[in-house]
Amino acid sequence: MSFADFTPAGDYSEYRQHELRKRRLIMVDGNLTANDSSHVAGESARAFQKGYWGFASATQPTGANKLSNIALANAQAMQVFGDQSRPLPELAYQGEHGIICQPNWSSEQLIEWLQSVSDLAQNRYEKVASVTAVALDEYHNKYVQNSLGSRAYNNISRAMMYLLIRVKDNDDKPVELAHIIGGKGSFGDLDLSMSSVESQLDELYLHLMAKREAVHAQGGSQQVVLAPNLAGMLAHEAMGHPCEADLVMGGAVTGDMRGQRIASDLITMVDFAHSYEGVELDVPVYADDEGTPAQDVTLIKDGILTDFMHNRETASRFGNPVTGNARAYAPDDEPLIRMRNTAIMPGSSKLGDMIADVEDGYYLMKTSNGQADTTTEFMFGISLGYEIKNGKLGRAIKDTTLSGSAIKMLQSVDAVSGDMHWDSAGYCGKKQPMVVSMGGPAIRAKAQLGGE
């Protein structure tokens, strides 16, 4: 794959070559149950003509000009609905950015590591009933060109180990917790030494032992302290999606709220393009899949909704700068507005003090899943949490849910820690999956907690 000869078609056109490699190995109680790998490569083109888009893709060599002409024909077919000509922003990017990875592990090395971790957990912890260890990695390789002169190369690589330990409580019911070791690059870039893994599993097992004796949370509106990784989930799911301009056009509640207070003045939230405080993040996007230079987007500033994330078309419709948020997951996917590295900014409080100031509440540490809609209503599964009684951590709580309006929750925030945690282990779902990262400090707020 490399840059190709490309003749523009229509008012605007772009051409992308895209390679995606993925691998997955699963071991359950020492038995390898899955060993999958996939490699897809293809090319796609989009053309914009008189306000309409056309798209075409191919999995075999077709050529930039042939695909662009097919895309243009598809755009022209839509013009029976009338001319809706609109100029698109003309920013272009030229540059090449690749993640420099350490040598990756072979599948044989991964199987050996998974077996070692499974044996470690089974032999070290008395009450372990089952151990699942999963290795996942993926590699995206993209060349993007357009009629404005963009020639952008970008790749995103990440690797992840997912460890799940299950025990049984006093009623012989399963209790489980998961831990993820992952990040940018290959398995060779992760600290997968047994000494490091052992200390992390020790901590996970202590939480499991506490969870065996867990009690139900008190349901209803509660004061909660969210650990940093949960704040990142809140940033992404509950407020990030309603700030994607295509969803705003589709009726998101944020549509007419720019310039209004939607959160405590302690909350600032940013979608970072590629770097934070001079360090490249796990999902670095220097130019998006429209060939647009990627810019940081401040979505909320001191509690005020300030901006949305844009592709070329929505930037034109809103009269705003284009931000470089158009991304496609697979070679035959069209670019959609997607987040990159979305985070709530750290504050000045200390986590210990935030807990100490709570008379009756909960400290929530791990989430099992999350979902939200464009009204900012959300629900997260909570897989690990503790009571807070008189400023001290108490008993573990059973699996529960955290829900409510993200706007109301963020308006109730009265403390934000100085910590910053980044997580890139999951996928974002919006018609197509997408690799993203999310970050945040601990925050203290009020929300609805499931329970008795």
97-135 residue pLDDT tens = 988 899 999 999 999 999 999 999 999 999 999 999 999
Which pLDDT score is estimated for 426?
79
pLDDT at 261 over 80: yes
Which pLDDT score is estimated for 100?
87
Which pLDDT score is estimated for 81?
85
pLDDT at 429 over 90: no
Residue range 364-391: mean pLDDT, rounded? 91
Residue 388: partners with Cβ closer than 8 Å, 6 or more residues away: 223, 225, 355, 358, 359, 360, 361, 362, 363, 394
pLDDT digits (tens, 9 = 90+) for 396-422: 999 999 999 999 999 999 999 999 999
Q: Which of 134, 130, 109 is nearest to 26 (CA)?
A: 134
Residues of the chain with CATH 3.30.2290.10: 12-212
Number of H helices, E strands in the chain: 8, 26
Percent of the residues in the chain that have a pLDDT greater than 90, as a whole number: 85
Which pLDDT score is estimated for 238?
80
Measured CA to CA, the distance from residue 289 to residue 14 in angstroms comes to: 9
Which pLDDT score is estimated for 169?
86
Are the beta carbons of 406 and 376 closer than 8 angstroms? yes
∠ CA 414-358-394 to the nearest 5 degrees? Answer: 140
170 pLDDT tier (thresholds 50, 70, 90):
confident
237 pLDDT tier (thresholds 50, 70, 90):
confident
Which pLDDT score is estimated for 304?
98
Q: What is the pTM of this model?
A: 0.95
pLDDT at 61 over 90: no
Residue 304: partners with Cβ closer than 8 Å, 6 or more residues away: 259, 260, 261, 262
CATH of domain 12-212: 3.30.2290.10
Residue carrying structure tokens 């060993």:
35
Q: What is the distance, to the nearest Å, from the Cα of residue 67 to the centroid of all Cα atoms in its chain?
A: 31
451 pLDDT tier (thresholds 50, 70, 90):
confident
Measured CA to CA, the distance from residue 420 to residue 416 in angstroms comes to: 10
Measured CA to CA, the distance from residue 450 to residue 58 in angstroms comes to: 48
Which pLDDT score is estimated for 235?
87
Which pLDDT score is estimated for 125?
95
